[in-house]
Structure 1
Amino acid sequence: MQTVKRWAKVIGPLPLILALIALVGIFAAGFSYHQNITGSGIWGSFIAAFTQSILGASSWFGENYGFGIIVFTILVRFVILPLMVFQIDSMKKMQGLQAEIKVIQNKYPGKDAESRQLLMNEQQALYKEHNVRPFASMLPLLVQMPVLIALYQAIFNSHELRSGSFLWLELGKHDPYFILPVLAALFTFASSWLSTQANPEQNTMTKVMPYIFPVIIFFTALSVPSALSLYWVVGNIFQTVQTFILQNPFKMRKEREDAKRLEREIERKKRKARRGRKRR
């Protein structure tokens, strides 16, 4: 119970309210579809519920399956928003401890078993002192992955969704003008770049990843139906806006600079006070 309360405090009321509204919207979409879609087993039923909700959302727009996919993707993103807020908060705490972790790593290089054990002990003590759980940030990813995979399969397996059309697209075929793959790659880069820029400590891997993910998404989007590419584009646009709001690198960079400026000002005043005492 204490863990749940702590998570709710970290997440805040607004993301939880938005997630609840989005969840109601998903159920409403499912109930508004005139046919009942069933699946085999727990996973099949999960995918069937997703499919029915997408088709229900499409019925709100005159059986426009493109709009149905867009609306449902946004609703799902709002449902998992609290998890993303919690994950980002954990990442920020970890980033704030990077300088202290480097000091510990320099103190214990981990070249032998004793050094590695001391390194682990001091890192755990540091995490406990600052109430940071390094692996807790993985929980939101583990929870949202089945949701996103089910959404992927619901779009892929539904004949109605793949046979529909939207703008210039035939949802069951590739984008003939490559517009969706390009947009998916661009917004993947935008969200990844914003996320890495918010991190004050960057290594070679974190610098390279924003350029690798868009390439993977681009070539994958070329080989799947436009319905899935549309899902990626909408999801990545949402992710970009979400990252900018929750991890605004320009705001965070200014906050770090202000903190360093304040630290230097305090240190300057201390040195001035020490010099004044010496003169007396």
Structure 2
Amino acid sequence: MRKKLLILLSLVGVLVLLSGCTQIDQDITSESEGFWNSIFVYPLSWLLVHVAELFHAEFGYGLSIVIVTLLIRLVLLPLNIKQIKSSKGMQEIQPKLQELREKYSSKDQQTQQKLQQETMELFQKHGVNPLAGCLPILVQMPILIAFYHAIMRTAELRSHEFLWFTLGDPDPYYILPVLTAGFTFLQQKLMMAGNASANTNNPMMPQMKMMLYIMPVMIGVFAIFFASALALYWVVGNLFMVFQTLLVKNPMMKKDEAKAGGAK
């Protein structure tokens, strides 16, 4: 969990760095040069503008962000489902991992190698990939950065109004940052729910609780200062994740309850 937090903080730092000094003052066009512009920023800008033009309405560009966000989430859906399953598996095997750590508590090299070997065998036996929880973050961060660039470097997007805010400016009433933090918290809370027995014996529970509160606050604070369009992307994406977690995790919880009932 600490590694996940460090990765998130590092990637947010990269977001801040790139948003501040990577051609952010230059409008994106089909003639923009560079791998980042041609592969990430311009295609996303093109897609957002063309989806908006389909509506020919006052709220076209805001609706475009909502629709493109949902499309991105649908593309990432298999990866996120894998993350949910892996997270559940990691919670379930925490007591066994703790037993291995106590069994091989010695810090000498041979003992630590044996610990790593049996830990990997435990992961393989239960079909758990400890990196699966970080993979969606690694995949989504370039998309998030590209989204920010597409907004700020596309005149139609950054100057257009949607509901009560201008897409290229921060939310003047802080409604989107509050919603962003709230839905992030709800999504993480749902991820932790339904595994009471596993969580009780989970030595990583303090770190998980820390992440439960730190991540929503951190994302909410960033949403205060960044463009409202980016906050809108976060809100829609997190709301999608809430429904996704409910749809994926409820059947898993019912399956576990059925197994527990059968065991009795």
TM-score > 0.5 by shorter chain = yes
Greater helix content: 1
Q: Aligned pair in 2 of structure 1 residues 140, 110: CA closer, same or farther (>3 Å)?
A: farther
Checking the alignment, whether the CA contact within 8 Å between 2:179 and 2:235 is kept in structure 1 is yes
Paired letter, 2:163: L
Q: Which of 101, 112, 116 is residue 97 of structure 2 equivalent to?
A: 101
Please list the CA deviations of residues 64-115 of structure 1 after superposition, one character each: whole Å capped at 9, or x if unmatched.
2111111111111111112112222333333332232222222112433232
Q: Which of 134, 147, 151 is residue 151 of structure 1 equivalent to?
A: 147
Task: Flag structure 2 segments of 5+ consecutive residues without an equivalent.
Answer: 1-28
Which structure has the larger Rg? 1
Please list the CA deviations of residues 154-199 of structure 1 after superposition, one character each: whole Å capped at 9, or x if unmatched.
1232221110011111222222221111111111111111112245
Query: Structure 1 stretch 210-219 or stretch 102-111: which is displaced more?
Result: 102-111
Q: Distance in 1 between matches of 2:81 and 2:253?
A: 19
Does residue 39 (structure 1) correspond to residue 32 (structure 2)? The answer is: yes
Q: Distance in 2 between matches of 1:137 and 1:214?
A: 17
Q: Aligned pair in 2 of structure 1 residues 207, 139: CA closer, same or farther (>3 Å)?
A: closer
Q: Aligned pair in 2 of structure 1 residues 142, 219: CA closer, same or farther (>3 Å)?
A: closer
2:49 aligns with: 55
Q: Distance in 1 between matches of 2:124 and 2:212?
A: 31
Could you say what secondary structure the match of 1:134 adopts?
coil
Deviation at 1:255, TM superposition (A): 4.6
> How many residues align structurally?
228
* Identity within the alignment, %: 42
Greater relative contact order (CA < 8 Å, ≥ 6 in sequence): 2
Please list, as runs of the form range in 1=range in 2, the aligned pairs for 1:18-97 lying within 5 A after superposition.
37-45=30-38, 46-62=40-56, 64-97=60-93
Please list the CA deviations of residues 15-43 of structure 1 after superposition, one character each: whole Å capped at 9, or x if unmatched.
xxxxxxxxxxxxxxxxxxxxx73431121
Could you say what secondary structure the match of 2:131 adopts?
helix
Q: Which of 224, 227, 230 is residue 229 of structure 2 equivalent to?
A: 227
Q: Distance in 1 between matches of 2:144 and 2:253?
A: 32
Please list, as runs of the form range in 1=range in 2, the aligned pairs for 1:1-280 lying within 5 A after superposition.
37-45=30-38, 46-62=40-56, 64-199=60-195, 200-201=198-199, 202=202, 203-248=205-250, 252-253=252-253, 255-263=255-263, 265=264
Deviation at 1:47, TM superposition (A): 0.6
Query: Structure 1 stretch 53-62 or stretch 206-215: which is displaced more?
Result: 206-215
Could you say what secondary structure the match of 1:68 adopts?
helix
Q: Aligned pair in 2 of structure 1 residues 133, 214: CA closer, same or farther (>3 Å)?
A: closer
Checking the alignment, whether the CA contact within 8 Å between 2:185 and 2:212 is kept in structure 1 is yes
Q: Aligned pair in 2 of structure 1 residues 148, 175: CA closer, same or farther (>3 Å)?
A: closer
Q: Structure 2 length normalisation: TM-score? A: 0.77
Checking the alignment, whether the CA contact within 8 Å between 1:110 and 1:119 is kept in structure 2 is no
Task: Flag structure 1 segments of 5+ consecutive residues without an equivalent.
Answer: 1-35, 266-280
Q: Aligned pair in 2 of structure 1 residues 125, 240: CA closer, same or farther (>3 Å)?
A: same
Deviation at 1:254, TM superposition (A): 5.4
